[in-house]
Chain A
Amino acid sequence: MIRFTDVYMRYPAGSDVLKQINLHVEQGAMVYVTGRSGAGKTTLLRLIALVERHTRGQIVVNGQNLRRVTGRRIPLFRRNIGVTFQDHRLLNERTVFDNVALPLAVAGYRYQDIKKRTSAALDKVGLLSKEKAFPIALSGGEQQRVGIARAVVHRPALLLADEPTGNLDPALSLETMKLFEQFHQVGVTVLIASHDFDMIKKMNKKIITLHAGSLLPHGRCGERSAPP
């Protein structure tokens, strides 16, 4: 599903944010990307979602070489990806329903389909009763779940989550992670960036550890490598 081959990333006039990244995430896998703040987790996700371009190497996502995804192909490529953010990035002047429906509206779905799918997605995250509310009126955990509903409403093959538990207490974090696991179980490839290592260990999934832009030898839980 995702394959990085010798990928480097450097912002203009800066040092390398990612150095010689080689990794492979299989179709339908659920993978955690961990590391300290500034290790390059978010950049890794941004490269996959084509928010940034890598400077060297090759990234293949869903069979597409990202170098060749340009111009009009970018929106179509992104429609196959769902993204959640640490700060949720909900549109505050729109209702919960409209927020979740956004990826469908963007793709030109008919209203009946939008209605059906959005309700289903909201039901899935347990917020169907709040569809007419505005994000401001929701708790942090609820806002995160609205963000998750938005990320999956268009049934993407790949789900990217950037620090989904960043602002949540442990109980809510676990709940959120369980939610991601449910999507993983129906075949969605899930990539979650998180620095909450204790939480990740409990989930018993593949872990990718970044340190200062480089990939550390990785494995399953408990094999966290100490920074050299």
Chain B
Amino acid sequence: MSKKTSKNRPVANLNKIIGSWFLQHVQAFLSSLGQLYKNPMNALLTTFVIGISLALPAGFYSFLENARRVTSNWDTTSHISLFLKTDIDDQRAQALADELKNHADIKTVEVIDREAALLEYKQNSGFAAALDALEHNPLPPVIIVQPKIESISSMNNERLLKALRALPEVDSGQFDRQWAQRLHRIIEVFQRFIMIVAALLSIAVILVIGNTIRLAIHNRRQEIEINKLFGATDAFIQRPFLYSGLLHGIGGSLIAWLLLETAVLLLNGPVVRLTDLYGSNFSLVALNFREIISLLLLGAGLGLAGSWFSVKRHLRAIDLI
């Protein structure tokens, strides 16, 4: 009998220690919830500030994601489209293409004859009925030239375009989707910009939460002193404040998410009407599940970081020894 109890004691002790540790965490969590509940207006205001700070970069990010969705299916390799004069027939176009194939700066050449051009246009433009009403095909043949050097900004390609435009058969020529590629670059610039803004706002969130916790520590100074006098460990005293920071951060993330959803809801109608005009069925999306979780984790992390810095700094000032 006695053997059995002595054998079980370490396990029982471990259970007790874990139980007590868990209990203290639950107590600290409830205590910080209680503090929020007691002072809901302050908590709400702080959480809102954090929410807006997080909503800004999240909103920019969401905007970019949507822009990327619009442009991602656009081809960005640099073609040159040569629109030939309308009086040039398909045979002449083919002959010109064969000629161009031997050009030093050109990789491949493709001819879209008048018939194919009409078919493609009918499919993509939505003007099929109007085109059917026409008596003859109004479209010129097109030669798609793929330069040897991919980059659009290459001076060589600029010169090539100039030379091609000068050909007598050519009505006009342009880099295909040049603006799409520029847009992608602009988006890249904006991405950097958002990263910087997000970093700054993250620091702001840490500072806001840090200041909130500083005030909370200040307001509960007497309680902290009494706790210390009766043998509270630093961990015991810190815990409610860390939970408070965590809760503020998570609350801020939730508000940021709500703000974002609201913004998308408000914008989506006009955006859909706008894209309808371009024959697109695009509609705005807010954050997906993974992004929402990331936002929550980010808020929680920033909240914890802010409260941790504050607790480390300001609890030391109350050190009884």
Binding site for B on A (CB under 8 A): 49-53, 72, 74-79, 83, 89, 91, 93, 102-103, 105-108, 110-111, 150, 154
Closest CB in chain B relative to A105 CB, distance in Å: 7
Residue of B nearest to A154 (CB): B230
Closest 4 CB pairs of A and B: A79-B231, A78-B231, A103-B230, A106-B232
Chain B positions within 8 Å of A, measured between CB atoms, are 19-21, 23-24, 27, 38, 222-223, 225-234, 236, 320-321
> Is the Cβ of A108 less than 8 Å from the Cβ of B320?
no
How many residue pairs link A and B with beta carbons under 8 A? The number is: 55
Q: Are B230 and A102 in contact (CB under 8 A)?
A: yes
- For B222, list chain A residues within 8 Å (CB): 89, 91
Specify which chain B residues have a CB less than 8 angstroms from the CB of A91 in the assembled complex: 222-223, 226
Candidates B23, B231, B236, B321; contact of A51 at CB < 8 Å? B321
List of B residues within 8 angstroms of A50 by Cβ: 320-321
Distance in angstroms from B16 CB to nearest chain A CB is 9
A-B contact pairs, 12 of them (CB 8 A): A74-B321, A75-B233, A78-B228, A91-B226, A102-B226, A103-B230, A106-B227, A106-B230, A106-B231, A107-B231, A108-B21, A108-B23
B17, chain A: closest CB distance, angstroms:
9
CA distance A136 to B145 in the complex (A): 89
Instruction: Give the CA-CA distance A110 to B236 in the complex, in Å.
Output: 15
Name the A residues within 8 Å of B226 (CB-CB).
89, 91, 102
How far is it, in angstroms, between the C-alpha of A111 and the C-alpha of B27 when the chains are bound? 10
Q: Are A49 and B229 in contact (CB under 8 A)?
A: yes
Bound CA–CA A106/B23 (angstroms):
11
| Complex Cα spacing A147 to B19, Å | 29
Known: A51-B229, A89-B222, A102-B227. 11 other contacts (CB 8 A): A49-B229, A72-B233, A74-B321, A75-B236, A76-B231, A91-B223, A102-B230, A103-B231, A106-B227, A108-B21, A150-B230
- How distant is the Cα of A107 from the Cα of B235 in the complex, in angstroms? 12
Chain B residues within 8 Å of A111, by CB: 23
Which chain A residue has the least Cβ–Cβ distance from B319? A74
Q: Which residues of B contact A52 (CB under 8 A)?
A: 321
Are A51 and B233 in contact, CB atoms less than 8 angstroms apart? no
Closest residue to B226 on the A side, CB-wise?
A89
Which residues of the other chain, A, contact B236 by a CB distance below 8 angstroms? Answer: 75, 106
The reply to whether A78 and B229 contact each other, CB–CB distance below 8 Å, is: yes
Q: Smallest CB-CB separation from B225: which chain A residue? A: A89
Which of B27, B38, B226, B320 has the most A CB atoms < 10 Å from its CB?
B226
- Nearest chain B residue, comparing its CB with the CB of A49: B229
Contact of A110 among B20, B21, B320, B321 (CB under 8 A): B20
Query: What separation, in Å, do the CA atoms of A50 and B109 have in the docked complex?
Result: 89
Across-interface contacts of B38 in A (CB, < 8 A): 93
B223 to chain A, nearest CB (A): 5
Query: Shortest beta-carbon distance, B18 to chain A, in Å?
Result: 11
In the complex, how many angstroms separate the beta carbon of A144 from the nearest chain B beta carbon?
A: 15
* Least distance between A91 CB and chain B CB atoms (Å): 5
How far apart sit A103 and B321, CA to CA, in the bound complex (Å)?
A: 18
> In the complex, A134→B230 CA distance in Å?
20
Q: What is the CA–CA distance of A108 and B227 in the complex, to the nearest angstrom?
A: 12
- A79 neighbours in B (Cβ, 8 Å): 230-231
Give the chain A neighbours of B24 by CB distance below 8 A: 108
User: A108 touching B20 by the CB < 8 A rule?
Assistant: yes
